[in-house]
Structure 1
């Protein structure tokens, strides 16, 4: 599963959301017409199978998709309270969520259906792709809070548009829309740091598999020079290449 697939609703910027009954139905109908493949995740993301979007039934406000080849998987997804779909039609990451699944038929065969989602998330620009940063010797971001306090937190992921941070506790005074001046961090192997200001875009509580509770904080770069964007892109490429060879 990609980093985008694992993003929660709280981590997703509003600018990537396509909402409204007609726009959502139109977009998904196009994917169904093209028989786009998607993965559907359920039972809190612990299970998934590959499927194909088949039809958007506007009058019933529902999306029809293909069953799994496993009857057991079909039985379990019918018991799920919520499902999440993710795919890359045309190479563009897309995801959306819906509620309970029901059985139906489509063109004479068995199929599954869910209510049309409230919105669909589609990342339209390549440069917003985020990648998880290494846990060993992580990037450390430094910034100043409005009260003058120092913020020093390890990075969780990064793109040329922003950075995600992990925090054991939510810093006092942190709120969405807050601008943090004088931010900086160093990329591995580089002596010259990147300096910028950043806007707090989101934060949410997260529980790890071990049960530890911490906070994820998303920052958007405000005035990062183009040259530094290129440095980050090279860093992302290096991480991807290293993981492919591992």
Structure 2
């Protein structure tokens, strides 16, 4: 089995690393702490078969999954294998895993430690300990869609120190966008900073521009391979451009449904 090292600074008991803890601190108003409520939200995700993505590893790997069952007695939950065997193996060795998904219009996020392989109803699955807390973020009002990964869209923006930098676009909605970078030189960006003159190349779907405000940062950094995820809110966004973005999102959804 090919293995990768856990994210630097991650504890093996599944508690978030210092960098992820700092990023999630900005979302503390949305934190759900009561164990019964955490279980209830995870069971709703299972009952509704809501899709989740799991970000992990030093290369920013992701798998798509869904929760199969929640066992409150043992304090664990079960979820599907992803579609890629190599990424499943990487996930199994990761000590820090960020789960993200939508539930009834709210964005759900939680962090779990290293999973165990498990057999659920005769099929391969993962088993993880229930998170001590999760984040149910209701401020996003718009549908969010993941962008292509094989030929990713590019956002180029001006940092506060006036450098122009390029990012991969991970997902987008009418209210914001998630960006990814492996450039260690942008590690000093913090929540609340503004990226100006951001231009988006959606390839055959056109180009757009907007200033961006950083609202979330997930920094999984090893000694040699940093990976940064930035959640950003659109600023100075005219109605005409909003209509264009809605068209981009609609076309992406149609393409995804055809695959």
TM range (shorter): 0.5 to 0.7
1:179 counterpart residue number: 194
Q: For the pair shown, which has the larger CA radius of gyration, 1 or 2?
A: 1
Is 1:168 aligned to residue 183 of structure 2? yes
> Residues 96 and 187 (structure 1 numbering): CA distance in 2 closer, same or farther, change over 3 Å?
closer
Report if aligned partners of 1:196, 1:222 keep a CA contact under 8 Å in 2. Answer: yes
Report if aligned partners of 1:82, 1:97 keep a CA contact under 8 Å in 2. Answer: yes
Report if aligned partners of 1:153, 1:167 keep a CA contact under 8 Å in 2. Answer: no
> Residues 230 and 50 (structure 1 numbering): CA distance in 2 closer, same or farther, change over 3 Å?
same
C-alpha distance after superposition, 1:37-62 (max 9, x if no partner):
57898x9788978522254x6xxxx6
- 150, 172, 175: which one aligns with 2:163: 150
Is 1:237 aligned to residue 254 of structure 2? no
Is 1:63 aligned to residue 75 of structure 2? yes
C-alpha distance after superposition, 1:112-163 (max 9, x if no partner):
99765232233544515241245537333232x333x332304322232323
User: How far off is 1:241 after superposition?
Assistant: 1.4
Give me the TM-score of the superposition, normalised by structure 1.
0.56
Give me the TM-score of the superposition, normalised by structure 2.
0.54
C-alpha distance after superposition, 1:7-31 (max 9, x if no partner):
x9677772784332x2x42242365
User: How far off is 1:225 after superposition?
Assistant: 2.8
Secondary structure, aligned partner of 1:118: coil
Secondary structure, aligned partner of 2:190: coil
Q: Which has the higher contact order (CA 8 A, sep 6+)?
A: 2
Unpaired runs of at least 5, structure 2 = 1-18, 81-92, 117-125
Separation in 2, partners of 1:190, 1:66: 38
Secondary structure, aligned partner of 1:170: helix
- 221, 228, 243: which one aligns with 2:241: 228
Is 1:26 aligned to residue 26 of structure 2? no
Report if aligned partners of 1:93, 1:123 keep a CA contact under 8 Å in 2. Answer: yes
User: How far off is 1:235 after superposition?
Assistant: 0.8
2:131 counterpart residue number: 117
Is 1:96 aligned to residue 123 of structure 2? no
C-alpha distance after superposition, 1:36-88 (max 9, x if no partner):
357898x9788978522254x6xxxx6355799xxxxxxxxxx9977777776
Separation in 2, partners of 1:87, 1:190: 25
Matched length: 211
